[in-house]
């Protein structure tokens, strides 16, 4: 119970949206068929770019690309997602490129950092309002999936856990109540 | 019957080779204790375990792995979940712990009503994955069925078990604080884990607003300060990693594998036999007692019989029912010791369905160090001196508070550098409470053997027919209302109530079917856990429970086991067994 609660706490930082909660609490989802999606190198590179835009390298810590989030997302979607979610995810990546071409006349990978950022802020808002108004049995927004996998992958990666967060493999003791100094990083799981 | 037994016996070596003073069936929490106590008494003891061997440390493949070393970061794959919809529901089940649970298809059973039967078949049983909460029962629980007329009177009282609780706690290593609470007696505790700042706040608030309720530090099977006994076994101090279900490299939480079995092995009296699926207990009609145990090799499926003067049945509650039901003879056509016809009936469990959670502002300048592997407890406050609710029974409440991650509240955009940096900081605090409620044993809640279906060893499948009832629904309502009130008083906001509606079984506290009692007409076991009608067979796991109480059960199984072994050894000395 204890551990599950800790996991739920991580799901919570995802903004308590649906896909994250499911993935975290009941494991990956079930599928009616074993057919899986194939991810080309190009797709993995695109995922790296999207993830890096969501969680870029900063003075404080390396970014999602350095943590190889693209291939993590590939593993999760391939091994864990239900077929219907895999399809939404794949179609979503195409849509993302379409939006990119429509708005900025180029592939996402070729956009300037500012345009990438602007595009994803829009998508994020679109996904959030979709998730809020959708009925329970309606599918999730692809960008919600993408963002949650990015966050999960990054903060549980070696770089994310040890540099973006404060990671103690063997704490050695438990102290219940210590002062928190503003700006100190949160504990990794 | 008996002749046939001799013929099958042990393919090559004969009876003498297969004869011990005592046989223990199962090497989990209770079987490990039976083994330790029997070996300590100088009895040559054979432990039969259906699963594979697990050795301390050597067989904990994930214990020291970092999260990023798991390809799915703890999640199971779609294929695994498709193949194992049942076991993967277990609390704490994941990529890092799956090896200590069964796979669904290997061990089928028949769910006449939905019942999620969670099992870990290996040396150590579920002692490797259990949650480790270890509160003592109080006399309120031992006497409640008789006082309120909802079942059978226990043949024992708190005073009968108290010294055995002490015996067990000292060896196992249980941390906690002596709080002097009537509903949850103190034990032999090692120093407790700290409450965190919010937990301390909630504790104070409860004390102020609900003076008859007590929130206390965890009573948990963790070594916080090793004793000489612990050190002798190579067990050390808990390092506060909270990765216990993978197996603990420090031996800091109690398991059969780190504690009772190695202790038993050191006496030189222990023989462990993994991959030994017990088919039945062999009853000898001339001698009018059990003479041994029939085993099917898990891998080769060959049958072998083993013999002993006394037999301890510790296969876990429902499996012990199964073994007894499958132990038929002319004398006991309906299962060993089952003259009353009650074997397999009055199955009960703990009600884990409901929880509440909320946020709590105002502790942003406080944090904690390390990962606490335990949880504070609110002792039962219902139906103690008199029945004060519209339902029977009581509930223990576990609670906890933790800081979330992500200081994103004031961000306008949740993409980019500012977002990432905010996610690296701690967020607000959250508090939760969940229930562990007593359920009322009923004759209709039962297990029995399938008449048509068998497992791969030719043993009939178990049929489970167990469900929640109206009493449970009322308790859930009360728990939700009371817990919400406590969170409100503590200053929580955004409080949410949740009823998982889960089937019984996921609580993993299944009990009963071979209950203890004074009268052989209404019970199967006497006050020393001996079958009334086959006194050299002892059942000391959850099957023996007359009612469920509301405390975590396993420390009681341990205490009852040690007590029963002591009785058995005395009776053997007197020549009565
Ligand atoms: C995730 C989880 C959390 C839990 N939390 C707590 C808690 O906090 N506090 C608490 O008190 N309890 C808790 N429990 C319950 C606790 O694990 C059980 O009550 C306890 O393990 C029961 O002990 P046992 O000896 O009866 O059975 P087990 O520990 O299950 O051992 C039974 C053994 O018998 C073997 N066996 C079964 N059938 C046969 C056969 N036919 N032949 C040979 N061998 C056989 C099995 O393989 C197994 O090794 C929890 C359990 C789990 C899984
Ligand atoms: S928290 Fe303690 S008992 Fe659990 S794995 Fe870590 S050291 Fe072992």
Spell out the alpha helix ranges (H) of B58-177.
Answer: 78-83, 139-148, 158-172
Contact (CB, 8 A) for A149 and A77: yes
Q: Is the pLDDT of residue A127 over 90?
A: yes
Q: b/e map of B336-365 (b: 16 or more CB within 10 Å)?
A: bbbbbebbbbbbbbbbbbbbbbbbbeebee
Ligand 2 nearest-atom number relative to CA B222: 3
Spatial distance between the Cα atoms of B169 and B163, rounded to a whole number of angstroms: 10
- Write the pLDDT tens digit of every residue in A95-106: 999 999 999 999
- Ligand 2 centroid vs B375 CA: distance in angstroms? 14
Q: Supply B529's token pair.
A: 């856990």
Confidence of residue B409 (pLDDT cuts 50, 70, 90): confident
Strand B19-25, strand B45-48: pairing? parallel
pTM of the model: 0.94
Spatial distance between the Cα atoms of B43 and B375, rounded to a whole number of angstroms: 39
Closest ligand relative to B64 C-alpha: 2
Please name the residues in contact with B330: beta carbons below 8 A apart, sequence gap of 6 or more: B1, B285
Burial of B160 (0-12, 13-18, 19+ CB in 10 A): middle
Contact (CB, 8 A) for B305 and B10: yes
Q: Is the CB of B250 under 6 A from ligand 2?
A: yes
Q: Is the pLDDT of residue A9 over 90?
A: no
CB atoms A12 and B404 under 8 Å = yes
What is the DSSP code (8-state) at residue B259? Answer: I
Residue of B nearest to A12 (CA): B404
Spatial distance between the Cα atoms of B109 and B117, rounded to a whole number of angstroms: 9
- Triad A173, A175, A177: Cα angle to 5°: 170
Contact (CB, 8 A) for A20 and B453: no
- Ligand 1 centroid vs B392 CA: distance in angstroms? 27
- Write the pLDDT tens digit of every residue in B414-451: 999 999 999 999 999 999 999 999 999 999 999 999 99
Q: Supply A85's token pair.
A: 């979610």
Q: Is the pLDDT of residue A91 over 90?
A: yes
pLDDT score recorded for residue A189: 81
Closest ligand relative to B277 C-alpha: 1
Confidence of residue B467 (pLDDT cuts 50, 70, 90): very high
Q: Supply A28's token pair.
A: 């990956």
Residue B573, phi then psi, degrees to nearest 5: -60, -40
Q: What is the ipTM of this complex?
A: 0.92
pLDDT score recorded for residue A153: 95
Neighbouring C-alpha atoms within 13 Å toward the C-beta of B376: 25
- Write the pLDDT tens digit of every residue in B322-354: 999 999 999 999 999 999 999 999 999 999 999
Confidence of residue B4 (pLDDT cuts 50, 70, 90): very low
Could you tell me the residue ranges of all domains in chain A? 41-164
pLDDT score recorded for residue A37: 62
Of the ranges A24-28, B6-10, B167-171, which one carries the lowest mean pLDDT score?
Answer: A24-28
pLDDT score recorded for residue A22: 40
Ligand 1 nearest-atom number relative to CA B245: 1
Please name the residues in contact with B121: beta carbons below 8 A apart, sequence gap of 6 or more: B50, B51, B102, B107
Spatial distance between the Cα atoms of B215 and B490, rounded to a whole number of angstroms: 13
Confidence of residue A16 (pLDDT cuts 50, 70, 90): very low
Q: What is the mean pLDDT of chain B?
A: 96
* pLDDT > 90 fraction of chain A, expressed in percent and rounded: 75
Mean pLDDT across the stretch B267-273?
Answer: 98
CA distances from B161 to A184, B561, B568 (A): 49, 10, 16
Q: Supply B532's token pair.
A: 């009334």
Q: Is the pLDDT of residue B494 over 90?
A: yes
Contact (CB, 8 A) for A63 and A115: no
B81 neighbourhood in chain A, CB within 8 Å: 27-30
């Amino acid at each position: 119970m204890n551990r599950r609660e800790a996991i739920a706490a991580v799901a919570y930082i995802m903004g308590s949206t649906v896909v994250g909660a499911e993935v975290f609490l009941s494991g990956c989802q079930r599928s009616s068929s074993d057919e899986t999606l194939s991810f080309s190198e190009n797709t993995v590179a695109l995922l790296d770019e999207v993830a890096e835009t969501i969680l870029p390298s900063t003075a404080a810590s390396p970014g999602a690309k350095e943590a190889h989030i693209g291939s993590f997302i590939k593993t999760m979607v391939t091994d864990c997602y239900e077929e219907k979610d895999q399809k939404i995810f794949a179609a979503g990546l195409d849509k993302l490129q379409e939006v990119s071409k429509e708005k900025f006349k180029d592939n996402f990978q070729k956009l300037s950092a500012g345009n990438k950022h602007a595009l994803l802020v829009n998508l994020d808002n679109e996904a959030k309002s979709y998730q809020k108004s959708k009925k329970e049995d309606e599918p999730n927004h692809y960008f919600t999936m993408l963002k949650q996998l990015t966050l999960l992958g990054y903060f549980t990666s070696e770089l994310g856990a040890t540099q973006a967060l404060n990671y103690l493999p063997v704490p050695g003791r438990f102290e219940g109540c210590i002062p928190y100094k503003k700006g100190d990083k949160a504990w990794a799981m | 019957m008996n002749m046939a037994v001799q013929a099958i016996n042990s393919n090559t070596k004969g009876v003498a080779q297969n004869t011990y003073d005592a046989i223990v069936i199962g090497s989990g929490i209770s079987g490990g204790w039976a083994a330790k106590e029997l070996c300590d008494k100088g009895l040559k003891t054979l432990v039969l375990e259906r699963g594979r061997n697990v050795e301390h440390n050597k067989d904990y493949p994930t214990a020291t792995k970092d999260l990023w070393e798991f390809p799915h970061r703890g999640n199971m794959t779609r294929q695994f979940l498709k193949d194992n919809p049942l076991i993967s529901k277990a609390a704490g089940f994941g990529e890092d712990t799956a090896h200590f649970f069964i796979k669904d298809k290997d061990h089928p059973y028949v769910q006449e009503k939905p019942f999620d039967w969670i099992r870990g078949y290996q040396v150590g049983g579920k002692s490797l994955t259990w949650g480790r909460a270890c509160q003592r029962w109080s006399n309120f629980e031992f006497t409640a069925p008789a006082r309120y007329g909802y079942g059978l009177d226990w043949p024992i009282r708190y005073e009968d078990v108290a010294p055995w609780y002490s015996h067990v706690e000292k060896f196992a290593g249980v941390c906690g604080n002596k709080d002097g609470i009537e509903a949850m007696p103190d034990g032999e505790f090692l120093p407790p884990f700290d409450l965190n700042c919010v937990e301390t706040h909630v504790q104070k608030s409860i004390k102020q607003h609900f003076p008859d309720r007590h929130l206390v530090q965890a009573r948990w099977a963790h070594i916080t300060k090793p004793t000489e006994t612990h050190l002798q076994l190579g067990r050390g101090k808990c390092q506060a990693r909270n990765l216990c279900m993978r197996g603990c490299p420090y031996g800091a939480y109690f398991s059969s594998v780190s504690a009772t079995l190695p202790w038993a092995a050191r006496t030189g009296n222990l023989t462990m036999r993994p991959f030994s699926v017990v088919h039945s207990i062999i009853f000898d009609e001339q001698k009018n007692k059990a003479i041994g145990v029939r085993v099917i090799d898990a891998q080769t499926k060959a049958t072998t019989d083993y013999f002993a003067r006394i037999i301890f049945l510790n296969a876990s509650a429902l499996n012990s029912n199964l073994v007894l039901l499958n132990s038929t003879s002319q004398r006991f056509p309906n299962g060993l010791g089952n003259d009353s016809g009650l074997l397999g009936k009055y199955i009960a469990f703990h009600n884990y369905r409901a929880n509440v959670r909320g946020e709590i502002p105002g502790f942003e300048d406080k944090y904690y160090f390390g990962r606490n592997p335990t949880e504070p407890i609110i002792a039962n406050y219902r139906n103690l001196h008199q029945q004060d609710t519209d339902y029977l029974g009581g509930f223990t409440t576990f609670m906890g508070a933790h800081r979330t991650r992500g200081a994103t509240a004031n961000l306008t955009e949740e993409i980019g550098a500012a977002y990432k940096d905010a996610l690296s900081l701690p967020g607000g605090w959250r508090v939760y409470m969940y229930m562990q409620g007593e359920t009322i044993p009923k004759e209709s809640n039962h297990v029995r053997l399938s008449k048509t279906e068998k497992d791969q060893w030719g043993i009939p499948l178990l049929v489970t027919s167990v469900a929640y009832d109206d009493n449970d629904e009322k308790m859930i309502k009360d728990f939700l209302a009371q817990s919400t009130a406590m969170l409100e008083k503590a200053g929580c906001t955004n409080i949410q109530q949740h009823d998982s509606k889960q089937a019984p079984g996921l609580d993993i506290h299944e009990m009963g079917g071979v209950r203890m009692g004074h009268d052989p007409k209404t019970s199967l076991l006497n006050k020393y856990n001996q079958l009334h009608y086959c006194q050299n067979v002892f059942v000391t796991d959850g099957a023996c429970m007359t009612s469920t109480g509301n405390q975590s059960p396993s420390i009681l199984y341990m205490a009852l086991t040690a007590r029963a072994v002591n009785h058995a050894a005395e009776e053997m000395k007197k020549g009565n067994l």
